[in-house]
Structure 1
Amino acid sequence: MCVLSSRLLLSVSVLSLAVAAPALAQQADPAATLDEVIVTAARTQLPRSAMPSTVEVIGEAEIAQQTALGSSAVETVATLIPSFSPTRQKLSGAGETLRGRSPLFLVDGVPQSTPLRDDSRDGFTIDPFFIDRVEVIFGSNAIQGVGATGGVVNYVTAAPPAEGAGPSGRVQALTTFDDSVFGDSVGGKLAGIVGQDFGRFDLTAGAAYEARGVYYDGADRRVGVDGAQGDLQDSVSWSIFGKAGVDLTADRRLELMVNHFELEGDGDYMVLAGDRDIGLPTTSVRGDAPGVQPSNDVSSAALSYTDSNVLGGTLRAQLFAHDYSGVFGGGTFGTFQDASIAPIGTLFDQSANNSEKLGFKLDWQGDIAPLPGLSALVGLDALRDTTWQGLILTGRDWVPETRYESLAPFMQLNQRLFDGRLNLSGGLRYETVTLIVDDFQTLASYNGGQQVAGGEPGFEELLANVGATFEVVPGLKAYGSFAQGFSMADVGRVLRGIDQPGQDVDTFLDISPVITDNYEVGLEFTRGDFDASIAAFRSETDKGARLVLVNGVFEVAREATEIEGVEVSARYAFNDTLRLGGAYASLEGRSDTDDDGEVDRDLDGANISPDRLILWAETDVTDALSLRLQAGRYFEREFEGQPAENDFEGYDLVDAVAVWRAGFGDVSLGVQNLLDEDYISYNSDTTRAGDDLSYFAGRGRTVTLGVTRRF
């Protein structure tokens, strides 16, 4: 724990400076009170002050600010949360972690992630225009089921229209372009949403369309397109969203949410290799990209029922479905070669990952009358996830159809003591899981192709959590917690990589679950217009799932991993017009690569984020004009036990947003990478030594001009 202690000391020093100069923060809205926010992703109707973990709520105003920079929903999270990895600015978010582990993405509680074959496309399943707030729960937990080893990112969609109000909504038009290279850098977006309350019935509907231009780096070179994993630049997306609700009685409500999102590359550019040795990044040249273009095609639906008067508590039920298909770019990759189809080195193919989910969540929460201050949450979750990955041009199976079936009863207790100054919580979740895989054959590149016997292995895990919060003095809260997370180790990667004969699914231990233990302690302080927090955490697992690059393809290494770190944030509002703030995170992660029971090598950039400092300032120049300036410092890092070529040099990014509230609407001007920093993206700089095709630069200075009108 010496590393954690030194980083904690550094963070305390940073926090002390913030208190002395009260100028740091992470919440943009000085009127926001976290205690009044019910975090739906936590599934408990508790005030923020009673939750023994780090929680961040990104509100509608903050989302609007970040999307005024042309940012995606996941980039908004990455910009504001320092322990979230820098985004790759690509369609794939592989290597983007929260506290060094994969988060579970949700839309109104519906899981978007694909843990059975984690292709890291779950950040792009809904347009940010339809998101009212983002709830981020830090650290491993199992309250939402499989996948949240790093935490939970829940996109909460547009709320129902105000009761009795007429039609209301907003429309938006944006254009984005590189500040010095127009032409093919120009992109645009149109979006609208409208809702009305009809009495007992209310309806909300919206649509969004976006065409993205080509990205340019700080030296005005085209950024290389990622033709294999998929890219955001040179792409088109459209989305439709709807929500309908009916108040059956004063206590009972039925609500339906539907969301469909599609994004597809245009294929107008091809990648041109850079040169890592001289620092020349990968770029793009005009040309028709071969094959079917990378895409995301996502549909989600949830039918929710709430009854606030059942046995003195609230009953909630949700039935959900999720259908996802992600196409990846093609190539003559070694993994795809098969001499029985075409001469080695000539076979062009590409894959598509598919996941179909169906499940329900049922829970009841209420007070336990005989014991004052005691409340309980009890429930039952069920999930069926069918996932497979095929090679779409030759009709081969890369990942066999794998069905995940789980049933998980759970119980959570919370005890309020001393007029709410002390809150004790604890809970259990019992996961019963069955994996169903038929007999299959791996690709020829895996040692000639292996026949693997199918099976139905089952797993049972009892997951626990316990925590406490205590109001030391008015405004100062201390908390501590232990929580376990549960996920699968990217079963698809593991199964497709079998290259030894005589294997069967029932006894193949590498598909066993990943169980993470998360320990956290923290302090939160609020007094007047100043608030600050500090948290220290440690996450460990005996059999993790580290991504390892093998022949150009990431596979899974089942190794023990340990991650520890600290996070600091603070905010101060000098007056009604000036707010300053910031946040800092420092993480360290190691893995046991030789299976001797001791961690011996640093996690690389595909598995952990860099240390980062965020600073921001906001001012209301007039009632009609507001400005925001934000800066992020990504600190340099060396990875012990990794190639020196993967060392991270670090970089600084500055963004600015101005909003003029005119009579016809809000006019926004956002400038991303204001200083036109020329840099290599974190993932490219730290994970692919010797790969000149994936040496991607980050986006240079980019301007977004928009108009939003509310009615």
Structure 2
Amino acid sequence: MGKFFTLFALLLLTQFAAAQSAVTIAGKVNIASNEPLVGVSVRIKGTSEGVVTDVDGRFSLQTQRPLPVTLVLSMVGYKTEEVKVTAPVSALSVTLSEAVEELSALVVSASRTPETLDETPSSVTILPQKALQESMIVTTNLIDILSNQVPGLAPSTSTSSNWGQTLRGRPMLIMIDGVPQSTPLRNGSMDMRALDPAVIERVEVLKGATAVWGNGAAGGIINYITRTPKKDDPFSSVTELGTTGSLSSIDNSLGARISQMVYGKLDKFDYVVSGIYEQTGEWKDAEGDVLPPTYGLGETDSYNAFLKFGYNWMPGQRAQLSYNYYSSEQKTNYVSEFGNYDEKRKTAAVLGDILGVPQGVRANHNLNLRFEGEGLPGQTSYDVDAYYQSVDNVFFWSNDFVNGGQSRILSQKKGLRFAFNTPLLSSAVFASDITYGLDLLNDVTSQPLVDGRIWVPEMNMNSLAPFTQLKFSLWKDLVFKGGFRMEKVNIGVEDYATMEMVNHQTGGTTESFSVKGGSLSYNAYLFNAGVRYNKFDLFTPYASFSQGFSVADLGLMLRSARVNSIAAINTEAIIINNYEGGFVSKWKNLRLEGVGYLSTSELGTSGRFVNGVYEVMRSPEKVWGFEGIADYRILDNLSIGTSYSWTEGKLDVNDNGSVSDAEDVYLGGERISAPKLTGYVSCSLLQERLSLQLQYTGIRNRSRFEQNERGSYDPYKAPVEAYNLVNLAASYRVNESTSLRVGIENLFNEDYFPARSQWFTQPSLYTKGKGAAFNLSVNISL
């Protein structure tokens, strides 16, 4: 990669030589009552260049772009405004009005450059900071937060693992500021809890297969965007102190949390520094029994350290260094006492001798150096970043290994990315720009046991991916997008031997195979295209086609090998075709959105157990479904909303292009989730000092499979019975700086088995969900 780092250095040096006289645009943003608005995003349309308003609603933006330019002013809860600026101005005044749909104002990164949702011809869910903070009143578990708020995301597992929690029936790529947390080479499904939600500014969920960010986004992308200062003050702080516990049985359930964040801006320099520690007590089900430790979150110590330093070293030029460390390990004296699915007897926790080491995230490191700005020839803006990510996930003790053992997934990623955006033409009728760049990635992943035995050998992947994306609009209402990405991937695997495993069905062990390694090469050419028509608020339609690329959990296939060479294993990568059509409708205080989708692939990686041995099925797959969303503001201080998600999928077993034949089968629960219904009621009282919100998540029935010859259900194929969960979040603002918060999780103490416990059928995960629990906290902002 040496020549690319040289190119990177040369690119930065050119910026010092590109200094030009800057134009200043300054002003103030108010609401209708003439009160200033803090935190409004003010950016130049079609670029990443922008600032936010200070506590007085003021902003000052310097640009080297030739005038005229169009400013886009946006903020959650307010309608986006565009203002054309033809000359330098020092007292521009803009008034923003309240909007029904707060998401319309947000800027997303669906195309690797900032854009509004109105420019995105596909389904996107944004969780702004306000929504995250409301959810954190109830729980800090990101798996629960996202499941409750993202249509199309499978039900929460109520554990530390998001295995079986797919997005539209396929695995998703988890990222922090664009840095991949997922390890598609060996997906251990512990990537959703990659950081503490307190350091997240917003979450962007791009649904449907996409190649925009590379390998692994078969079902879409979840991108955690971390905090940046929103005030111009040199020093601000947020302190949170809290305690948690069970309402079904308080004994030994108390936990504690402390969070401290400081941030500010000093001339050209800005910073965010955060430290968080959380310790949970025993987690209990609705009957007051301790939940078993497998993937458990009870008695867990979690640490999060976050640093972000930014320096605007020239007008329109920014350098940024960020680092995040996250660890979450369970330290308990309980062991699992297995239950029985057929007898509906839950797996329980009993005191016992703990085998192995604490399970969980030993350490997740993310280091990112980014340079962004403009001033290149042709008014080109750029975004260049170099990153390093390292994770060590330790799993629970398992008797599936001969003599028992614990596996761990080790992964290190080093990447370098270049993205450029060049405007091509801009007029009152037609505007266009092109985004292009190159991604470089080295990913080394393995899955050994803690004691040193090798389950999945080290896989060393190098990938190179150039890409381009063209966007143009007619009369600012009809937006077209289309793009291309090439994936060139090489993976090296050393010779290895599969492990002997205990076959609990036969009582014996599986045979070990010596497997000859080698090199695997993939070349994929991926396309996307979409259109959106924004003329009428009452009906804004969009449609898109996009392709995704995934190496399909190569490690899972290597560890399950029954041949003596990787050349004899079907390790062909998956190309996913995603078709989507939807609409957004706004009328007064009502917003509706509906979307239908179809996802196909010539290969799959669904699993099944045959005589107690896990096998990977590579038959063609078809997944389809729809999502509906409605939000309505009844009064200025009272809003309601709901969403419904339905997904279905089948295997084309005989590979004839149809999934309606008798031999074709439905995909199991590890891929296709039961339907999900969500809702909320949110209100503010006492002159907005008191905020209340009820959150509802209902999982519906799904039954697609017959019982086996034993009169039971095979793993992944059991029915899911409906259950309903209600959470309560309340916040009272004592004064300008202090708020008291009370959250009740599972308000009505629903006694239930989560969806994964139901469809998996195996005693290791046949655990109940969390019973009623409280979260009390005080938040002090200075």
TM exceeds 0.5? Answer: yes
Q: What is the CA-CA distance between 1:366 and the residue it aligns to?
A: 2.4
- Provide, for residues 97-149 of structure 1, a one-character-per-residue CA deviation record: whole Å limited to 9, x for no partner: 11111111110111000110000010111111101111111110000101111
Q: Does 1:326 align with 2:399?
A: no
Secondary structure, aligned partner of 2:570:
helix
Distance in 2 between the 1:272 and 1:491 partners?
32
- 1:632/1:652 contact within 8 Å kept: yes
- Provide, for residues 255-307 of structure 1, a one-character-per-residue CA deviation record: whole Å limited to 9, x for no partner: 01100001111032111122323322111112332111212110001101012
Secondary structure, aligned partner of 2:234:
coil
- Provide, for residues 178-218 of structure 1, a one-character-per-residue CA deviation record: whole Å limited to 9, x for no partner: 11311222111111110121211222110100111222112
Q: 1:126 to 1:649 in 2, by over 3 A?
A: same
1:411 to 434, 445, 468: 468
Summarize the alignment of residues 427-438 of structure 1 with structure 2, pairs less than 5 Å apart: 427-438=483-494
Q: Does 1:265 align with 2:334?
A: no
1:374 to 426, 432, 448: 432
Q: Does 1:113 align with 2:182?
A: yes
Q: Does 1:219 align with 2:287?
A: yes
> What letter is aligned with 2:347?
T
Structure 1 window deviating more from structure 2 (481-490 vs 212-221): it is: 212-221
The residue number in structure 2 matching 1:138 is: 207
Secondary structure, aligned partner of 2:433:
strand
Q: Does 1:73 align with 2:142?
A: yes
1:279 to 328, 333, 344: 344
2:219 to 150, 161, 167: 150
- Provide, for residues 434-488 of structure 1, a one-character-per-residue CA deviation record: whole Å limited to 9, x for no partner: 0111122222348532222221121110000011001352442100000001111
The residue number in structure 2 matching 1:661 is: 733
- Provide, for residues 331-366 of structure 1, a one-character-per-residue CA deviation record: whole Å limited to 9, x for no partner: 332xx22xxxxxxxxx12211110000001111112
Q: Does 1:425 align with 2:481?
A: yes
- 1:234/1:268 contact within 8 Å kept: no
- 1:400/1:440 contact within 8 Å kept: yes
Q: What is the CA-CA distance between 1:392 and the residue it aligns to?
A: 1.9
Q: What is the CA-CA distance between 1:593 and the residue it aligns to?
A: 4.0
Distance in 2 between the 1:273 and 1:710 partners?
46
Q: Does 1:485 align with 2:485?
A: no
Q: 1:278 to 1:358 in 2, by over 3 A?
A: same
Distance in 1 between the 2:165 and 2:559 partners?
23
Secondary structure, aligned partner of 1:278:
coil
- Provide, for residues 542-561 of structure 1, a one-character-per-residue CA deviation record: whole Å limited to 9, x for no partner: 10111334677865322211
Summarize the alignment of residues 25-424 of structure 1 with structure 2, pairs less than 5 Å apart: 31=99, 33-163=102-232, 165-226=233-294, 230-296=295-361, 297-311=363-377, 312-333=379-400, 336-337=401-402, 347-369=403-425, 372-393=430-451, 395-417=452-474, 419-424=475-480
The residue number in structure 2 matching 1:19 is: none
Q: 1:536 to 1:441 in 2, by over 3 A?
A: same
Q: 1:555 to 1:672 in 2, by over 3 A?
A: farther
Secondary structure, aligned partner of 1:457:
strand
- 1:41/1:109 contact within 8 Å kept: no
Distance in 2 between the 1:556 and 1:308 partners?
48
1:618 to 662, 678, 682: 682
Q: 1:266 to 1:604 in 2, by over 3 A?
A: same
The residue number in structure 1 matching 2:776 is: 705
Distance in 1 between the 2:643 and 2:318 partners?
39
Q: Does 1:521 align with 2:577?
A: no
Superposition TM-score, scaled by structure 1 size: 0.90
Structure 1 window deviating more from structure 2 (440-449 vs 181-190): it is: 440-449
Structure 1 window deviating more from structure 2 (634-643 vs 422-431): it is: 634-643
- 2:228/2:271 contact within 8 Å kept: no
Q: Which runs of 5+ in 1 are unaligned?
A: 1-26, 338-346
> What letter is aligned with 1:676?
N
> What letter is aligned with 2:649?
G
Q: 1:553 to 1:266 in 2, by over 3 A?
A: farther
Distance in 1 between the 2:510 and 2:754 partners?
34
Secondary structure, aligned partner of 1:318:
strand
- 1:160/1:203 contact within 8 Å kept: yes
Q: How many residues align?
A: 663
- 2:248/2:749 contact within 8 Å kept: no
- 1:439/1:454 contact within 8 Å kept: yes
- 1:530/1:570 contact within 8 Å kept: yes
Q: What is the CA-CA distance between 1:598 and the residue it aligns to?
A: 4.1
- 1:161/1:202 contact within 8 Å kept: no
Secondary structure, aligned partner of 2:342:
helix
Distance in 1 between the 2:613 and 2:308 partners?
40
Distance in 1 between the 2:610 and 2:321 partners?
44
The residue number in structure 1 matching 2:700 is: 635
Q: What is the CA-CA distance between 1:641 and the residue it aligns to?
A: 5.5
Q: 1:642 to 1:514 in 2, by over 3 A?
A: farther
Summarize the alignment of residues 514-593 of structure 1 with structure 2, pairs less than 5 Å apart: 514-549=574-609, 556-593=616-653
Q: What is the CA-CA distance between 1:642 and the residue it aligns to?
A: 6.8
> What letter is aligned with 1:233?
G
Distance in 1 between the 2:340 and 2:266 partners?
62
- 1:532/1:569 contact within 8 Å kept: yes
Q: 1:93 to 1:222 in 2, by over 3 A?
A: same
- 2:432/2:473 contact within 8 Å kept: yes
> What letter is aligned with 1:420?
K
Secondary structure, aligned partner of 2:314:
coil
Secondary structure, aligned partner of 1:495:
helix
2:570 to 507, 510, 522: 510
- 1:41/1:154 contact within 8 Å kept: no
**CA RMSD, aligned part only?**
1.9
The residue number in structure 1 matching 2:673 is: 609
The residue number in structure 2 matching 1:5 is: none
Which structure: larger Rg? 2
Distance in 2 between the 1:90 and 1:624 partners?
34
Q: 1:551 to 1:383 in 2, by over 3 A?
A: farther
Q: 1:597 to 1:204 in 2, by over 3 A?
A: same
Q: What is the CA-CA distance between 1:526 and the residue it aligns to?
A: 1.7
- 2:128/2:201 contact within 8 Å kept: yes
Secondary structure, aligned partner of 2:768:
coil
> What letter is aligned with 1:615?
G
Q: What is the CA-CA distance between 1:566 and the residue it aligns to?
A: 0.6
Secondary structure, aligned partner of 1:61:
helix
Identical-pair percentage:
30
- Provide, for residues 407-450 of structure 1, a one-character-per-residue CA deviation record: whole Å limited to 9, x for no partner: 00001001101x11111111000100101111222223485322
The residue number in structure 1 matching 2:513 is: 450
Q: Which runs of 5+ in 2 are unaligned?
A: 1-75, 79-97, 502-508
> What letter is aligned with 1:148?
A
Distance in 2 between the 1:531 and 1:379 partners?
36
Q: Which has the higher contact order (CA 8 A, sep 6+)?
A: 1
Distance in 2 between the 1:632 and 1:414 partners?
37
> What letter is aligned with 1:240?
A
